[in-house]
């Protein structure tokens, strides 16, 4: 929420608006006075790394009454405020819409009782502009894919449960963990996937899952599943329970009841952990900072384009694009989920959630619960020997993807073959089938358990012009083909980044010469650089981004302690500026240097002058100078290196500011994968195995009458059977690797269409490149002075207000 307040404030100032903060939510709006404060640029400094909401929140019974709303209108009018940006859940947004609906009548009443003068509020009497931002850890608002705060809450849950898992494994215990989610199971489902839970309880989909077999007896169904996991070598059992979990008769399912079942029926040493308000706090993760920042920009724009009589908008995100939809339509749709649950129409409740929720639920079922579905495994003739290989640099989530892929293969009767140490390991016969127990604990492990390197298939003459990066070398295509045939691999899952992409491209191009490559092949993009064409997000990029955010937050603390110090922070990303750009946006960097935007003398001069101006202005106004950060992508320039830029800054800032460097290096490739990367890895892996099955089925059908002796039944040269899987918007997309060439810059090792490129300008906007304070001699900012006299009437009285209600607002909590 603080990231949203910062974004709204700074963008509003640059749009010639007057921003206020309403402290303590609607209670502050009712009480007025000191609770309504004009905001300047420096008032929101440092908010990105602060958890919760710095302007406070409070439940407000007064606002639910007309008398309270009348006071709120009085305080808005006397402060000249005619627009309200509300950050909260459906209850908070509904309250704002109620205020808007009563606005004219309340203003008339204030005029009639002589509490305000008609001429002072004439411009305000027609309409109150309302814009909603959804802040809810439950992610329970319809018409948006994700809400502000949900991913951070998921981080807190996963951190806690990861620690519990260590205890559970040591003592062979079972843990029942209760997480928040009164009417929405998003947190419990995503946490269950991210930590590798054995069972999850959701309000939208009560157990038992197999109603025909178990009726309403969810206890027996859960015990049967967990008992089988134990027999297969699982040393721990983990159950995630949403606080609003119910059975099919709408009876609550509590964590204590689940503990009793596991203890009494399975004899497991079972403990209960209720995470409670731990889930609501802590520093915001990278994704929430990004989401709140860009939605804050759109909220200000929505205020400025609003017209009387138009429905109040809610700012959301759909298919990775910021959206604006009618607020009350979204609220009503959200409330219809709870009604569907009340009516026991659980299928409808699931359908009313965003498409990704249903897709992830299916992914969880297929990779976990359906292990024991009596319709599996597949018939012998439909089973595959699927090779799984990692190539390129390690990335968080590679192991999670491999775990899910291997277990889904085993569930369906396929043979998952781990190819260790990339293509060089393949030609050394480092190939081993994976068992269910082999992948225990892989969901939370960083790096690559299979091993990976940059060794690359040697392209044929006329093939794609590629070269291994770093210490990678070329491997003969004939050797690779021979060993694929030797191990009877008839489908291939390649997990990696741009090396994986060009390796698959090379093998696809060589199909005419080597029949061993005429098998279904699919790449699951996994790279910190997020530079693979055909996907908005690669597995591993979110983990790296969170490492950058955490490290840069600490660096800024050092910079702030030294006051006048600029750190140049070098991040990875190769020739792709994704990490630097999103890292700069989510850490409050002054500017970023990326390969796509070349650095030159003019660029450095402009940025140095901007920093000098900022420090000089802070000195003049007696504002404590803050440390600053510039983020530089590792390949932004071969001339202007991180060290060179820092030395130039130090020289030019002599006597005013100092400069230091920080190179994050391989920290970005290691560590525990972020929850988002684990979730994305799971969803992509499930879809990869399903796609390989369908491609193999089509290949068998194609060759049934024209089978070539000496070749596998699965023989295909169709370009459609060599694909990249990707997340495009909120959907899963399969792009034939040969078609993707049109969208790839192979020489620069990145895609041509990079959705995030426009944010480089926003970083500068939020760093005050385009804004001048109008300050008086004492250094106090009067944002209206000298400004309104120059503005048209349509703009003069336009203002915005950032007013969070509850930092994790849900209906009834306001």
Q: How far apart are CA 240 and CA 181, in angstroms?
A: 11
Q: How far apart are CA 696 and CA 684, in angstroms?
A: 18
Q: How far apart are CA 589 and CA 600, in angstroms?
A: 19
Q: How far apart are CA 732 and CA 721, in angstroms?
A: 16
What does 94-148 look like in DSSP terms, one character per residue?
A: HHHHHHHHHHHHHHHHHHHTTSS-HHHHGGGSS--EEEEEEB-TT---TTSS--B
- Cβ neighbourhood burial of 638 (10 Å; 0-12, 13-18, 19+): exposed
Q: How far apart are CA 206 and CA 201, in angstroms?
A: 7
Say if residues 192 and 365 touch (Cβ distance below 8 Å).
Answer: no
Residue 419 structure tokens: 């190819």
- Of 623, 616, 614, 621, the closest CA to residue 778 belongs to 621
Structural element, H or E, at residue 160: helix 150-171
**Which is catalytic among the residues 138, 145, 288, 354?**
138
Q: How far apart are CA 304 and CA 298, in angstroms?
A: 10
Q: How far apart are CA 733 and CA 790, in angstroms?
A: 51
- Of 480, 492, 464, the closest CA to residue 738 belongs to 464
- Of 138, 236, 146, 135, the closest CA to residue 195 belongs to 236
Residue 328 structure tokens: 């009350």
Known active-site residue 705 = no
Mapped to the 3 state alphabet, what secondary structure does 222-280 carry? HHHHHHHHHHCCCCCEEEEEECCCECCCCCECCHHHHHHHHHHHHCCCEEEEECHHHHH
Alpha helices per DSSP H over 563-623: 578-587, 601-620
Residues with a known catalytic role? 138
């Amino acid at each position: 929420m603080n990231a949203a307040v910062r974004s709204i404030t700074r963008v509003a100032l640059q749009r010639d608006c007057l921003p206020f903060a309403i402290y303590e939510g609607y209670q502050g709006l009712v009480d007025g006075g000191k609770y309504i404060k004009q905001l300047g640029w420096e008032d929101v400094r440092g908010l990105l790394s602060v958890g919760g909401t710095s302007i406070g929140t409070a439940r407000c019974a007064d606002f639910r009454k007309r008398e309270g709303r009348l006071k709120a209108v009085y305080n808005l009018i006397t402060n000249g405020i005619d627009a309200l940006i509300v950050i909260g859940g459906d209850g908070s947004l509904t309250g704002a819409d109620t205020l808007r609906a009563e606005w004219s009548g309340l203003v008339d009443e204030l005029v009639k009782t002589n509490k305000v003068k008609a001429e002072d509020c004439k411009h305000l009497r027609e309409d109150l502009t309302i814009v909603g931002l959804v802040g809810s850890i439950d992610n329970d608002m319809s018409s948006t894919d994700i809400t502000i705060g949900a991913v951070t809450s998921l981080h807190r849950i996963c951190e806690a449960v990861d620690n519990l898992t260590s205890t559970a494994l040591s003592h062979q215990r079972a843990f029942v963990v209760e997480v928040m989610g009164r009417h929405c199971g998003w947190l419990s489902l995503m946490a269950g996937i991210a930590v590798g839970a054995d069972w999850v309880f959701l309000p939208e989909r009560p157990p038992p899952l197999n109603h025909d077999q178990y009726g309403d007896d969810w206890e027996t169904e859960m015990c049967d599943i967990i008992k089988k996991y134990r027999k297969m070598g699982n040393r721990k059992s983990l159950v995630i329970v949403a606080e609003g979990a119910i059975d099919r008769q709408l009876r609550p399912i509590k964590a204590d009841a689940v503990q009793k079942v596991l203890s009494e029926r399975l004899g497991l040493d079972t403990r209960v952990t209720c995470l409670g308000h731990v889930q609501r706090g802590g520093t915001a993760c990278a994704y929430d900072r990004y989401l709140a920042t860009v939605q804050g920009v759109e909220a200000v724009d929505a205020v400025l384009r609003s017209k009387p009589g138009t429905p109040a908008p809610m700012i959301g995100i759909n298919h990775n694009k910021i959206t604006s939809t009618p607020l009350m339509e979204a609220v009503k749709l959200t409330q219809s989920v709870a009604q569907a649950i009340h009516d026991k129409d659980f299928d409808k409740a699931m359908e009313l959630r965003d498409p990704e929720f249903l897709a992830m639920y299916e992914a969880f079922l297929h990779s976990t619960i359906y292990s024991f579905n009596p319709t599996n495994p597949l018939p012998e003739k439909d089973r595959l020997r699927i090779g799984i290989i990692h190539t390129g640099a390690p990335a968080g989530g590679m192991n999670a993807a491999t775990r899910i892929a291997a277990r889904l293969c085993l569930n369906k009767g396929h043979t998952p073959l781990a190819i260790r140490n990339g293509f060089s390991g393949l030609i050394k016969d480092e190939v081993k089938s994976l068992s269910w127990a082999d992948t225990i604990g892989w969901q939370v492990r960083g790096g690559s358990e299979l091993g990976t390197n940059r060794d690359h298939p040697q392209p044929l003459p006329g093939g794609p012009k590629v070269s291994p990066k770093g210490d990678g070398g070329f491997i003969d295509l004939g050797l690779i083909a021979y060993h694929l045939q030797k191990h009877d691999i008839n489908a291939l899952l390649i997990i990696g980044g741009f090396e994986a992409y060009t390796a698959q491209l090379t093998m696809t191009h060589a199909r005419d010469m080597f029949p061993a490559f005429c098998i279904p092949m699919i790449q699951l993009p996994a790279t910190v650089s997020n530079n693979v064409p055909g996907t908005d997000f690669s597995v591993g990029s979110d983990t790296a981004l969170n490492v950058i955010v955490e490290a840069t937050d600490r660096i800024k603390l050092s910079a702030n302690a030294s006051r006048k110090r600029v750190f140049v922070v070098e991040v990875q990303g190769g020739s792709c500026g994704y990490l630097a750009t999103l890292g700069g946006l989510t850490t409050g960097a002054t500017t970023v240097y990326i390969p796509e935007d070349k650095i030159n003398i003019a660029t450095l001069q402009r940025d140095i002058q901007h920093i000098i101006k900022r420090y000089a202005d802070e000195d003049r106004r007696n504002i404590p100078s803050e440390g600053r950060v510039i983020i530089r992508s590792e390949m932004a320039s071969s001339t202007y290196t991180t060290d060179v830029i820092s030395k130039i800054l130090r020289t030019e800032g002599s006597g005013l500011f100092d400069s230091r460097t920080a190179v994050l290096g391989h920290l970005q490739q290691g560590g525990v994968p972020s929850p988002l990367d684990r979730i994305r890895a799971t969803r992509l892996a499930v879809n990869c195995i399903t796609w390989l099955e369908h491609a193999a089925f089509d290949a068998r059908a194609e060759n049934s009458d024209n089978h070539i002796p000496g070749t596998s039944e699965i023989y295909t040269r169709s370009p459609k059977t060599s694909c990249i899987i990707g997340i495009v918007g909120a959907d899963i997309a399969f792009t034939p690797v040969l078609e993707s060439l049109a969208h790839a810059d192979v020489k620069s090792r990145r895609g041509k269409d990079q959705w995030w490129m426009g944010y480089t300008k926003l970083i500068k906007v939020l760093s005050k490149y385009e804004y001048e304070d109008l300050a008086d001699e004492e250094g106090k900012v009067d944002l209206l002075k000298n400004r309104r006299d120059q503005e048209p009437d349509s703009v003069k009285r336009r203002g915005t207000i950032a007013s969070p209600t509850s930092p994790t607002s849900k209906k009834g909590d306001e």
